[in-house]
Amino acid sequence: MELNLTNRVSTLKNKMLEEERYLSIEQAQIITQIYKENEEKSVALKRALSLKATLENLEIDIQNEELIVGNRTKGVRGGVVFPESGIGWIHKEIETIQNRPQDKFNVHPEDIHIFRKSIEPYWREISLEAAIKKRYGTEISEIEKVVKINQKDHAQGHICPNCEKWLKFGPSGILAEAKMKIKNASKEKKEFYESVIIVMEGVQTFMLRYRDLLYERSLAESDEALKSSMKKLAEICEKLSFSKPESFHEAVQSIWFLFVVLQMESNASSFSPGRMDQYLHQYYKNDMENGNLTKQEALEIIECVCIKFNQIVYMRNSHSAKFFAGFPIGFNIVIGGQDEKGNDATNELSYLFLTGQKHLLLPQPNLSVRLHNNTPGEFLKECVRVVALGNGMPQFFNDQSVMPALRELNIEENDVKDYAVVGCVEITTQGNNLGWSDAAMFNLNKVLELTLNHGKCLITGKQMAPDQGSLSEFETYEDLEKAFESNIKYFIGEMISSCEVVEKAHMDLLPSPFLSAVVDDCMEKGIDITCGGAKYNLSGIQMIQVANLADSLGAIKSLVFDRNKISRFDMLNALQNNYEGNELMRAIILNKSPKYGNDVKWIDEIGAKWAEIFKSELSNYKNYRGGKYHTGMYTVSAHVPMGENVGASPDGRYAMSPLADGGMSPVYGRDTSGPTAVLKSVARLDNNLTSNGGLLNMKFLPEFFSNESGIDKFSMFLRAFVDLEIPHIQFNVIRKEDLIAAKKDPENYRGLTVRVAGYTAYFTELADELQNEIIARTSYGDL
Amino acid sequence: MLYFKNKCMNCHICIEKCPRKALSLGRNGILIDQSACDLCGICTEECPGNALNMDCMEFTLEQVLVEVMNDQPFFKYGGGVTITGGEPLLQADFVIELFKGLKRKGIHTAVETSLFGSNEDLKKMLPYLDEIFCDLKLLSSEDHFNYTGVSNLIILENLEAILVSEEKTKVIVRTPLIPDHTANEENITRICSFITGIYPDVQYELLNYNPLASSKYHLIGREYCFEDNPKMYSVEEIEYFRSVAIKAGIKNMIED
């Protein structure tokens, strides 16, 4: 049966995209007022009361076509000012945010005035941001060029709540649970349960407000079909306020309310719905069996909630907006994978989510697919067909790699099998984990730079690390390795102290009762999630970037120490001068030393070796909640700003230019041995290095996907990807602009191949007019 | 020896290091005296920008097999090894041994050949092949001689031999569409009538014109047959050529 994109869904999509975005201070005003009225109360209670007041008073709106309602601002895609975590940047940028180049938000002029007069002054000294700055600001900024500590001015997020529990109990069930637990609780735990009671009551009111609004608007609606669907939805909202969902439609609405309230409480980048095709399947199946739902209706509901995932955005400062353009908020849905017995879990809903993605092509949800040895061939092909549409989704995760890595962290087997994804590519267990997956990004290349140059920054000359000599003085490659390792340990120590301060500040200032109520075992223990109430308490550190590191150390080892092609002194001198006047040396580095990503064992193993050293040193520490630190290899787009901090590097990279993208991907243009060699190289990185998530980006021209035989080849490629135990892969379809860039800048696109009637050539080696022809015929505009 | 002018850094190290003095500085960069060059490879190793490249490399049988087996994780699901041109039949002994080795490892094998080679060699190769792609550019012997420098007599004989052999189902005959040369109704009709006359179920494929070829001509300093490189044929034009082939009796048309 052909499934269609309905008029209702297209209308909703268009309305959303047409609506102007505004900065919103409404919630900030409510929170500030509650804090002022309750000065004597604890932070936990103030937070709970603020959320309740928001749920009761925030202006709400609906569209009559909606099958799923709810938002945290009246308008769509509002930029919410959230004072408790930090608004220093808004204070600086509120006037310019409407004209900045990336991710503009309109601002009502009177809001600027209110913000300046009554919001900002109140929070200036007491926000999370202010507290961290006061407690440890100097130390954190001392190391910021090497280690970027995150979550200094916003809530952590990156959490998969227990959606199954929410569906089973709803706000009323959890309210009852809290009321029961509070009876025998100790004094401090009483406060936790009290907070949960306060927020759940607020949630019930919030749902009823949508019921009322739907009824009211339905009276004025002349279209009978819409009128009746609005009334039906009003009934659903009412039911969810005191009971649990039974139908598929009710369940999906219930899940959306959950995510709206989570964002209201935390304003965090990424809360993820996780395995929606699994926990919604029972509802879908029942409805289908009873004849209460058709596939087309189910798809429409799914598409309506997928549109909703685009209506809550995360407003970032102008610097960060440049690198996380399009205000991504990481509603990550993962489909496919295995059930608790290890059987394939793909079902009809998995396909419907793919169809939804195909119809909408919106940036959210961030759609992920779990692959394993028994993923059905047809499902795999359908995934590739969606990838071929060119917006990079779905991305693929590999059970064969991720599950062993999670086992190594002593995660219980049922949680291992049920893993999901948060944010972009971070791995989590579902419903019981404060993974703190973006604790920090550790720039290994900056540490190498400092090691080669007396601990001094090549860009500013500032002493940043202990002086252990320089490249000119290291007699052997092993001497260099020794100094490098010692510097890594030094910065890990510094990083851990900073991470602890940040976690402590979150405990003090951002207790989150609503979130805690839907993450096991907080309710059981009576402990807030920020204080370690969750079953699993991890912290993830990203290693930035192993590809550049392998290429750099490989060039030093091979060209300087083993083959004597370049002297130690000359190499250091070239780095200090950003290769100026050393073009021939740079060419030798680029062309005469192998690079990571070409299936050359020894160079790939350099990357793996240093990642292992880093991970093993890190495992000596425990985080502030008592959990483990572990590692990931992804930057999303931070390879650009992280690269700006690094001087010229021995891999031939110029000072301040981007590092390799992704996390496990080779450096741009250095993988010249084809896609199979890339997979072989990446496979040399052990699974356990990426238990927090890894990212492999590969680019292909659209013609590689243009027919079924291309789709088949990609499916086979993905099968091999599963066998090679690589944790993650995503495919970008190259656009015209990329080819234009490649023509101008061949060095960074050396691996780019084009196909013409069964023949493949390197794009950058083609003559001018041929490049133009390929550019002319590569177009994705018409999709 | 290939010279990529856009990669040349004008350091002239190659001229200095060439033991046979085969390199010199011309108006457009490095000039290679191909007759003096003995392919020792020193210049390619020394050239910092990799502007000088060997067009070919010598491998032993074992080296090729090692290279192939690097991709073993992928062969489980498809793909395999295709030996292509130059002309595999010109190195038949090596190629046959290689195919034997690949078959022992269970790898899918294919060859792309112009069929301009010994019939004996071709017969020896056949048992080790899963797919045989045969070029047939022009049926007119005279045209063939004019454009390629040889008559197509051997080619037609070889084609007939495999199209009557037990391996005929593995054969795919291909005609590259080259404007003004092969891409005309008469040539395609004659080719198709010829091959379907031998084996009515023969698989046939029309290859779109490949404008990238001109790049290679420039790299080795040879003149290309077109002054203005034509464009690839459009979907509609390809459809027309296919209809010609079908009209001439093709039942199994390969489409990409």
Whether the per-residue pLDDT at A100 is higher than 90: the answer is no
Cβ contacts of A376-384, under 8 Å, gap ≥ 24: A376/A344, A376/A346, A377/A715, A379/A336, A379/A346, A379/A350, A379/A351, A380/A715, A380/A718, A380/A719, A381/A711, A381/A712, A381/A715, A382/A351, A382/A354, A383/A354, A384/A705, A384/A711, A384/A714, A384/A715, A384/A718
Q: List chain B residues with CB under 8 Å of A680.
A: 70, 73
Whether the per-residue pLDDT at A1 is higher than 70: the answer is no
Length of chain A counted residue by residue: 783
Q: List chain B residues with CB under 8 Å of A759.
A: 210, 212
> How close, in Å, is residue A716 to chain B by CA atoms?
5
Q: Indicate the domain borders of chain B.
A: 2-53, 61-254
In whole angstroms, how large is the CA radius of gyration of chain B? 21
Q: Which of B49, B76, B231 sits opposite A773 (nearest CB)?
A: B231
Whether residue A276 lies within 8 A of chain B, CB to CB, comes out as: no
Whether residue A768 lies within 8 A of chain B, CB to CB, comes out as: no
The angle at the Cα of A585, spanning A583 to A586, to the nearest 5 degrees, equals 65
A756/B210 Cβ within 8 A? yes
Helix (H) or strand (E) holding A136: helix A128-142
* Closest Cα in chain B to A777: B232
Whether residue A781 lies within 8 A of chain B, CB to CB, comes out as: no
Q: Which of B9, B212, B218 sits opposite A756 (nearest CB)?
A: B212
Preceding peptide of A394 cis, ω within 30°: yes
Length of chain B counted residue by residue: 256
Q: List chain B residues with CB under 8 Å of A769.
A: 229
DSSP string, A647-678: ---TTSPPTT----SSSSSPPTT---S-HHHH
Identify the weakest region by mean pLDDT among A280-289, A569-578, B81-90, B137-146: B81-90
ipTM of the complex: 0.86
> How close, in Å, is residue B50 to chain A by CA atoms?
7
> How close, in Å, is residue A594 to chain B by CA atoms?
13
Q: Which of B11, B49, B212 sits opposite A766 (nearest CB)?
A: B212
pLDDT of residue A760: 62
**What mean pLDDT is reported for chain A?**
93
Q: What is the dihedral sign for C-alpha A397, A398, A401, A403? A: positive
Q: Which token pair is A566?
A: 């370049």
pLDDT tens-digit map of A157-177: 999 999 999 999 999 999 999
Whether the per-residue pLDDT at A782 is higher than 80: the answer is no
Is residue A480 classed as helix, strand or coil in its secondary structure? helix
A584/B11 Cβ within 8 A? yes
Average pLDDT over residues B71-84: 91
Whether residue A762 lies within 8 A of chain B, CB to CB, comes out as: no
Work out the pLDDT band at A781, boundaries 50, 70, 90. very low
Work out the pLDDT band at A323, boundaries 50, 70, 90. low
Q: List chain B residues with CB under 8 Å of A715.
A: 77
Chain B neighbours among A 571-610 (CB < 8 Å)? 583-585, 587-588, 591-592, 599
Q: Whose CA is closest to A549, among A479, A465, A690, A452?
A: A452
pLDDT of residue B55: 81
CATH placement of domain B61-254: 3.20.20.70
> How close, in Å, is residue B210 to chain A by CA atoms?
6
Cα separation, A240 vs A231, whole angstroms:
14
A709/B77 Cβ within 8 A? no
Average pLDDT over residues A59-86: 96
Q: List chain A residues with CB under 8 Å of B214.
A: 767, 770
Work out the pLDDT band at B256, boundaries 50, 70, 90. low
> How close, in Å, is residue B1 to chain A by CA atoms?
16
Whether residue A122 lies within 8 A of chain B, CB to CB, comes out as: no
Identify the weakest region by mean pLDDT among A101-110, A371-380, A436-445: A101-110
Interface test with A, best of B74, B82, B241 (most A CBs within 10 A): B74
pLDDT tens-digit map of A599-622: 999 999 999 999 999 999 999 999
> How close, in Å, is residue B51 to chain A by CA atoms?
10
pLDDT tens-digit map of A659-689: 998 889 999 889 888 889 999 999 999 999 9
A676/B207 Cβ within 8 A? no
Helix (H) or strand (E) holding A481: helix A477-509
pLDDT of residue A645: 96
B11/A599 Cβ within 8 A? no
A713/B210 Cβ within 8 A? no
Whether the per-residue pLDDT at A525 is higher than 60: the answer is yes
pLDDT of residue A759: 57
B4/A767 Cβ within 8 A? no
Residue with more model confidence, A476 or A327:
A476
Helix (H) or strand (E) holding A204: helix A187-220
**What mean pLDDT is reported for chain B?**
92
Taking the model in full, what pTM does it have? 0.92
> How close, in Å, is residue A766 to chain B by CA atoms?
6
Q: List chain A residues with CB under 8 Å of B209.
A: 757
Average pLDDT over residues B240-254: 96
Q: Which token pair is A62?
A: 């609906």
Nearest 10 degrees: Cα torsion A686, A688, A693, A694 = -10
Whether the per-residue pLDDT at A637 is higher than 80: the answer is no
Interface test with B, best of A371, A707, A708, A770 (most B CBs within 10 A): A770
Hey, what amino acid is at A642? M
- Phi/psi class of residue A597: alpha, beta or left (left: φ > 0; alpha: ψ in -120 to 50)? left
The angle at the Cα of A689, spanning A685 to A694, to the nearest 5 degrees, equals 85
pLDDT of residue A755: 60
* Closest Cα in chain B to A716: B77
Q: How much of chain A, in percent, has pLDDT values that exceed 90?
A: 83
pLDDT tens-digit map of A413-457: 999 999 999 998 999 999 999 999 999 999 999 999 999 999 999
> How close, in Å, is residue A588 to chain B by CA atoms?
5
Interface test with B, best of A373, A590, A716 (most B CBs within 10 A): A716
Query: Which residues of chain B are at the A interface, by a Cβ-Cβ cutoff of 8 Å?
Result: 4, 6, 9, 11, 45, 48-50, 70-71, 73-74, 76-79, 207-212, 214-215, 218, 229, 231-232, 256
Cα separation, A583 vs A654, whole angstroms:
11
Instruction: Please list, in sequence order, all residues whose beta carbon lies within 8 angstroms of the beta carbon of residue A49, skipping any fewer than 6 positions away.
Output: A34, A38, A41, A198
Class of domain B2-53: alpha beta
Whether the per-residue pLDDT at A714 is higher than 70: the answer is yes
B207/A724 Cβ within 8 A? no
B78/A773 Cβ within 8 A? no
Q: Which of B6, B73, B232 sits opposite A720 (nearest CB)?
A: B73
* Closest Cα in chain A to B79: A713
Whether residue A759 lies within 8 A of chain B, CB to CB, comes out as: yes
Whether residue A757 lies within 8 A of chain B, CB to CB, comes out as: yes
Residue with more model confidence, A737 or A138:
A138
Residue with more model confidence, A623 or B4:
A623
pLDDT tens-digit map of A267-313: 998 999 999 999 999 999 999 999 999 999 999 999 999 999 999 99
Roughly how many angstroms between the first and final C-alpha of chain A, as a whole number? Answer: 23
Q: List chain B residues with CB under 8 Å of A583.
A: 9
* Closest Cα in chain B to A704: B256
Whether residue A16 lies within 8 A of chain B, CB to CB, comes out as: no
pLDDT tens-digit map of A458-475: 999 999 999 999 999 999
pLDDT tens-digit map of A180-205: 999 999 988 999 999 999 999 999 99
Cα separation, B166 vs A290, whole angstroms:
58
Q: Which of A591, A758, A770 sits opposite B211 (nearest CB)?
A: A770
Q: List chain A residues with CB under 8 Å of B207.
A: 757-758
> How close, in Å, is residue A240 to chain B by CA atoms?
48
Chain B neighbours among A 649-678 (CB < 8 Å)? 676-677
Work out the pLDDT band at A578, boundaries 50, 70, 90. very high
pLDDT of residue A273: 97
- A654 burial class (0-12, 13-18, 19+ CB within 10 angstroms)? middle
Residue with more model confidence, A767 or B56:
B56
Whether the per-residue pLDDT at B116 is higher than 70: the answer is yes
Whether residue A747 lies within 8 A of chain B, CB to CB, comes out as: no
Cα separation, A45 vs B134, whole angstroms:
80
